[in-house]
Amino acid sequence: MKLEVKGLEKCYRSKQGDTVALSPTSFEVGDAEFVSLVGPSGCGKSTTLYLIAGLDQATQGEILLDGEPVAGPGHDRGMVFQNYTLFPWLTVRQNARFAFGLANNRGGKTAADAGRADSLLNLMGLRKFYDAYPRQLSGGMKQRVAIARALANRPKVLLMDEPFGALDAQTREEMQELLLHLSRHEKTTILFVTHDVEEAIYLSTRILVFSARPGRIIREITVPFGPDRTLDLKLSDQFIRLKREIIGLLQHLPEPDHDRRAILENLVSTSIAEKSTHDH
């Protein structure tokens, strides 16, 4: 598997003017790699993921998956979002098997293929919850089902947009452990967006650091740890040094543009004025 992103650019046009969300960006992802995108809010990380998923169209550039242009959504790319995207009227098993139901209607899948969804649920410790509904699950369990559903079709690349961002710290670490185990077991290529530098280092083989908007890659970092990782790794000197290096890069990015600063200053001034009026 080879994913190639070449000169990718995204500009949103409106009556108020153009907003460049992503400067021309290029990178490659190889087979079974785990690559994380980190950077400040609004730098184009999620935009990049959506373009690769085929959920949005680039202004310029191209995306190739095994040499074939990406022209829209496809079963060769699985997507997991931050928000829980399960169908509330379907059980855990029905959610995980949803793609197979669609394919069966087209005569494209078999019962053996649907059994893969069950195997993934079992791998994630959800055997006892086949018949439960999303409302009966915790946040971490919902994301396990979403990951199983995304992997059920054996996508060439799994795209994950801050999938653990809404979870508490303990559940987040449990999901990180699960994802590491899953990536080793499935040997799936993963492109992962996160704001959490520690999470990126712990999970990834490589990290792409994005600049402030309009986003572009300012540093590519190879993570120097092997595939067998435990939470103790986060306490090692080498891990902490790498975390400091990436945080240092992010802290020295350019300040928000003048218009944004003006808006913030105006909000603060207005708040102070309102408080003063109220106090008197």
Which residue, 78, 77, 46, is CA-closest to 148?
A: 78
Percent of the residues in the chain that have a pLDDT greater than 90, as a whole number: 70
Distance CA 73, CA 55 (A): 6
Six-digit token string for 131:
């018949």
Which residue, 58, 18, 25, 61, is CA-closest to 43?
A: 25
Second CATH level (architecture) for the domain 2-76+155-279: 3-Layer(aba) Sandwich (3.40)
Residue 106 has pLDDT above 60, yes or no: no
Answer whether 171's CB lies under 8 Å from 138's CB. Answer: yes
Which residue, 89, 135, 129, 126, is CA-closest to 98?
A: 89
Q: What is the pLDDT of residues 119-170, one digit of tens each?
A: 999 999 999 999 999 999 999 999 999 999 999 989 999 999 999 998 999 9
Q: What is the pLDDT of residues 16-60, one digit of tens each?
A: 888 899 999 999 999 999 999 999 988 999 999 999 999 999 999
